[in-house]
Amino acid sequence: MGRPVIFVVPHPDDETLGAGVAIAEHVAAGRDVHVLLMTRGTSSGAIDKINGSLWSPWWGAPHNPAVEGYQPLDSHTLGVARLREIRAALGCLGVSADRLHYAWDLIGVEPLDTQVSIAQAKAAIVALHQKVMADNPGSGNCGLWTPSHTVDNNSDHLNIGKASQQLGAEDPVVWADRRYWVIPPYWNDARLNQVVGRMWDTPADAQTANRVKNACRAYASWAPEQGMYAFGYHSVADMFAQMDGTTSTNGPKCLIHK
Ligand SMILES: [Zn+2]
């Protein structure tokens, strides 16, 4: 097994939208890839689209749970559904379910969507890092990928990026290998001028690109009887369009910085 790497994901879908290409490439390179999910992402207003009280431009027709055969979602059932989506997406990227770790299992408290603190993120990263290194003695430094600490507006995303930054400042040897991803809405953001080492990560081959497109499909999966509600696409279809080939003519890519 290759050198370990941890991708820290604020909410289900951030891994595919921000780092899908990078995750698939690390798997292809034989790296020991772990994903740390911080929250179930249950505060999203897109729940009203599934429940029929809000129009979804992506779906283009109103939902009617009674007709379509499901109970309206609440925050609990939404959380369960979103975990199904990220597990399916990670499988497409080449990461099995036993390599998806939940912050709440590691730190004993569940960070809530929109309320992730820097301290919670650091604690979860350190806890997972200990576990990963114990399983891989002598495997070398662990890579750490998180959302950008600067180029984003979401506080969960920023705090996780800042957690990585702080870990790097506190122990530059252990955390020498850090990367930050920028999600599509900020690909032309002025704050990009404040970060260093910017680069596009494009798929090395067609199969890698296809893996990212397939991960997107997990978030478009409509199968209410199986508890799959295409939540990702109901929530941020525009962002997925940048990854699934709809508006990105050259296929998926990631914008990363150091
Ligand atoms: Zn997010």
pLDDT per residue as tens digits for the range 196-212: 999 999 999 999 999 99
37: CA distance to ligand 1 center in Å? Answer: 10
Torsion angle defined by CA atoms of residues 49, 23, 101 and 238, in that order, rounded to the nearest 10 degrees: -10
What value does the mean pLDDT of the chain take?
Answer: 96
209: CA distance to ligand 1 center in Å? Answer: 22
Q: What is the pLDDT of residue 45?
A: 87
Q: What is the pLDDT of residue 249?
A: 66
Instruction: Judge whether 214 and 221 are in contact, CB under 8 Å.
Output: no
More confident residue, 242 or 5: 5
219: CA distance to ligand 1 center in Å? Answer: 14
Interior angle at CA 161, CA 47 and CA 22, nearest 5: 80
141: CA distance to ligand 1 center in Å? Answer: 27
Q: Which residues contact 158 (CB under 8 A, 6 or more apart)?
A: 147, 148, 149, 150, 152
27: CA distance to ligand 1 center in Å? Answer: 22
Instruction: Judge whether 82 and 12 are in contact, CB under 8 Å.
Output: yes
pLDDT per residue as tens digits for the range 99-155: 999 999 999 999 999 999 999 999 999 999 999 999 888 778 999 999 999 999 999
137: CA distance to ligand 1 center in Å? Answer: 32
pTM of the predicted model over 0.75:
yes
Q: Kindly report which listed range (45-54, 61-70, 196-205, 249-258) carries the lowest average pLDDT score.
A: 249-258
154: CA distance to ligand 1 center in Å? Answer: 7
83: CA distance to ligand 1 center in Å? Answer: 14
Strand partners, 229: 222
Domains identified in the chain, total number: 1
Supply the CATH number for residue 110's domain: 3.40.50.10320
- Report residue 38: phi and psi, to 5°: -85, -35
Range of the domain at 159: 4-257
Q: Please report which helix (H) or strand (E) contains residue 229, including its range.
A: strand 228-229
Instruction: Judge whether 55 and 43 are in contact, CB under 8 Å.
Output: no
pLDDT level of residue 57 (50, 70, 90 thresholds): very high
Q: Please report which helix (H) or strand (E) contains residue 79, including its range.
A: helix 75-93
Strands 254-257 and 199-201: antiparallel
Q: Please report which helix (H) or strand (E) contains residue 122, including its range.
A: helix 118-135
11: CA distance to ligand 1 center in Å? Answer: 5
- Check whether 248 has a pLDDT greater than 70: no
CA–CA dist 171, 210 (Å, integer): 37
